[in-house]
Structure 1
Amino acid sequence: MRHRGSWLMTVWNRIERGAGQPLVLLHGAGGSARNWLPVMDRLAADRRVIALDFPGFGLTPFPDRVEFTMEWVMAQLAGEFARLGLHGPVDLAGNSMGGWFALEAAKRGMARSVAAIAPAGLWRRGMPDLLYAQFLTAMAGGLLTRGPGARALRFDLVRHASLALVARHPARIPRTEGIAMIRDLDRSQRALLLAVRHARSLHFEGGQGISVPVTIAFGDHDRMLRPSVSRMRDELPAHTRWVTLPGCGHVPMSDAPQLVARTILDASDIAGTGGKESA
């Protein structure tokens, strides 16, 4: 982590399954590696699948006085790859914030392929006002789940309402996992606020020269990244492949596990054959 000019590394928590060609999964803002559990077994049938918790999210600690910038994130990600023995470009799949990070990693030569699921950053100038407001509202709601309020999450109606912003079908998320997702959001408050504030004035840019296969996939019921403001193509390579995920929300892994897993594997299969598909 960066502390007034110095770089200190934190070991990232991870969920790892399978063996073979590495496939790294990057979660969204307020989430954790647990978000990928619905697709992990499908992906791990033929791959070494590594789902990571970013610093400050999930179970990876976040020390004081961190300067949360994209360069800091990329340096941390590169350091974690080295610690895991991933010394060349790897297949990356990311959701929301993680999708943006995967695209940034591709710009830096760290990716063999990218499957960006509802990636953030594809807006014109900075984070849209509605999205910013949604994050602030979600963080405020997370505070209500502390202490005695946590008991309310046992009720399906409360839990499903809390998850409806990110999932098209909250009822498909098991109770334990749904509660964990909501608690992950609350635990990440400090890192999440820094990340969201940083993104207010940023957008993904300079990706036209990415040479590896890039797949962008959005659910057709994404309530956070609206098509009119969050699907700009100008900064992406011309060979970017665009996919629609029917019946899916912003965090679609529980909405359609088989479809999401197939989309990710297809993206890396293109890299394996050395080909590129156009939109």
Structure 2
Amino acid sequence: MTSRTAKSTARPTPVAALHIGSGDPVLLLHGFLLSPHCWEQVAQRMSAHCEVYAPAFAGHWGGPKVEGWAMDVYALADQIEDQLDELGWRTCHIAGNSLGGWVGLELARRGRARTLTTIAAAGGWASPSLSQVRIGLKFASMIPFIEIGKRLGGVAINNALVQQVAAMLVTKHTGAFARRDRATLLTAVLHCDAMIALLLG
């Protein structure tokens, strides 16, 4: 497990988990394709009153390797439960965004949540369903662009136009999205090995 504060070097580096502060245990779960970096500012603010843990999901930048050709939310919840056990956290406050919200809901179902806050939680659709297929196709349409980005590497990550497009996809107020954070977001997306496995799962 890697600890990291909100300050970072100019070049983003993978983080297995943010783990800072002391007090009530708080688990922060990132969204699909992202990494614990997206919680850095929140974790720093909360660390004065809480022990904050924000892990990388399996197959995501900084997280454990994906085993097998498919993965689902239950496997991700198993991974996080194992980490909670290692921390000695029987229960904790949980906040999750998108995929992280879905995993948070599963952890709450398993009795691991003291409280749960979800932000645009994924899931909630019938399986199979039109919504499930539509969302899967939306993410699948990104695969060619991600593959091109992987080949371009730093050229794509540090390109102002690419960063602006990425910012527009994730926030309404792009001016509040710092250039360093845009580069980190793009790096996380380009290093997510679980994309196809989760779409298949």
Is the TM value for this pair above 0.5?
A: yes
Q: Answer whether contact 1:89 1:109 (CA < 8 A) is retained.
A: yes
CA–CA separation in structure 1 for the residues paired with 2:168 and 2:138:
12
Matched, 1:55 2:58: yes
Structure 1 residue ranges, 4+ long, deviating more than 6 angstroms after superposition? none
Matched, 1:80 2:76: no
Q: TM-score, normalised by structure 2?
A: 0.82
Aligned to 2:149: 145
Cα deviation, residue 40, structure 1:
1.9
| Structure 1: gaps spanning 5 or more residues | 1-11, 199-279
CA offsets 1:110-137 (integer angstroms, 9 cap, x no match): 1111001110012344444442232123
Q: Secondary structure at the match of 1:94?
A: strand
Q: Answer whether contact 2:34 2:61 (CA < 8 A) is retained.
A: yes
1:146 partner letter: K
Matched, 1:157 2:161: yes
CA–CA separation in structure 2 for the residues paired with 1:129 and 1:75:
25
Cα deviation, residue 79, structure 1:
0.9
**How many aligned positions are there?**
185
1:52 partner letter: P
Q: How does 1:1-279 map to 2 (within 5 A)?
A: 13-65=16-68, 67-86=70-89, 88-125=90-127, 126=129, 127-148=131-152, 150-188=154-192, 190-198=193-201
Q: Secondary structure at the match of 1:146?
A: helix
Q: Answer whether contact 1:97 1:120 (CA < 8 A) is retained.
A: yes
User: Cα gap change, 1:66/1:20 in structure 2, threshold over 3 Å: closer, same or farther?
Assistant: farther
Q: Answer whether contact 1:99 1:116 (CA < 8 A) is retained.
A: yes
Cα deviation, residue 66, structure 1:
5.7
User: Cα gap change, 1:146/1:70 in structure 2, threshold over 3 Å: closer, same or farther?
Assistant: closer
Cα deviation, residue 152, structure 1:
3.8
Aligned to 1:250: none
User: Cα gap change, 1:156/1:74 in structure 2, threshold over 3 Å: closer, same or farther?
Assistant: same
Q: Secondary structure at the match of 1:160?
A: helix
Which structure features the higher share of helix residues? 2
Cα deviation, residue 37, structure 1:
1.7
Q: Answer whether contact 1:27 1:53 (CA < 8 A) is retained.
A: yes
User: Cα gap change, 1:196/1:148 in structure 2, threshold over 3 Å: closer, same or farther?
Assistant: closer
Q: Secondary structure at the match of 2:31?
A: coil
CA–CA separation in structure 2 for the residues paired with 1:33 and 1:27:
6
Root-mean-square deviation (Å): 2.1
Identity across matched positions, percent: 26
1:179 partner letter: A
Q: TM-score, normalised by structure 1?
A: 0.61
CA–CA separation in structure 2 for the residues paired with 1:171 and 1:133:
29
Aligned to 1:277: none
